[in-house]
């Protein structure tokens, strides 16, 4: 299943990693293990560094492998949620129809 991971790095932790020269190599290692479809780096609305990553997760048991590197390396706040492409959304039609029939009164 296609998933979206958002890892917010606390400024103090990320600044220390930048000063030590470990931020980039640590993120590269995490991404090499995750093999994402896409990875973006942004600032949050409150100014922290943030990674936004789209990847495939076959089983929920993979969650520790996905999230723990961010927790352990950066003390990050991590969220993971399923996402859909436009094609996935188009294929969801029967689910919409069923929900409308059962609950859309």
- Tens of each residue's pLDDT in the chain, 105 residues: 999 999 999 999 999 999 999 999 999 999 999 999 999 999 999 999 999 999 999 999 999 999 999 999 999 999 999 999 999 999 999 999 999 999 987
Which two tokens mark 27?
Answer: 């993120």
Chain centre to alpha carbon of residue 1: 13
- Residue 104: the pLDDT is 87
Q: Are 51 and 41 in contact (CB under 8 A)?
A: yes
Q: Which domain holds residue 87?
A: 2-103
CATH number, domain of 88, equals 3.30.70.120
C-alpha R_g of the chain: 17
Q: Which two tokens stand for residue 82?
A: 């399923």
Cα distance between residue 44 and residue 98, in whole Å: 37
**Model confidence pLDDT, tens digit, residues 45-60:** 999 999 999 999 999 9
State residue 84's pLDDT score: 94
If one counts the domains in the chain, the total is: 1
């Amino acid at each position: 299943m296609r998933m979206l991971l958002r890892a917010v790095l606390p400024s103090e932790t990320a600044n220390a990693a930048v000063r030590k020269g470990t931020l980039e190599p640590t993120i590269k290692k995490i991404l090499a293990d995750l093999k994402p479809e896409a990875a973006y780096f942004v600032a949050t609305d409150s100014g922290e560094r943030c990674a936004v990553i789209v990847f495939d997760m076959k089983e929920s048991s993979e969650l520790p492998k996905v999230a723990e590197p961010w927790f352990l390396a950066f003390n990050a706040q991590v969220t993971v949620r399923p996402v859909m492409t436009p094609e996935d959304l188009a294929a969801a039609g029967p689910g919409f129809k069923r929900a409308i029939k059962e609950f859309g009164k």
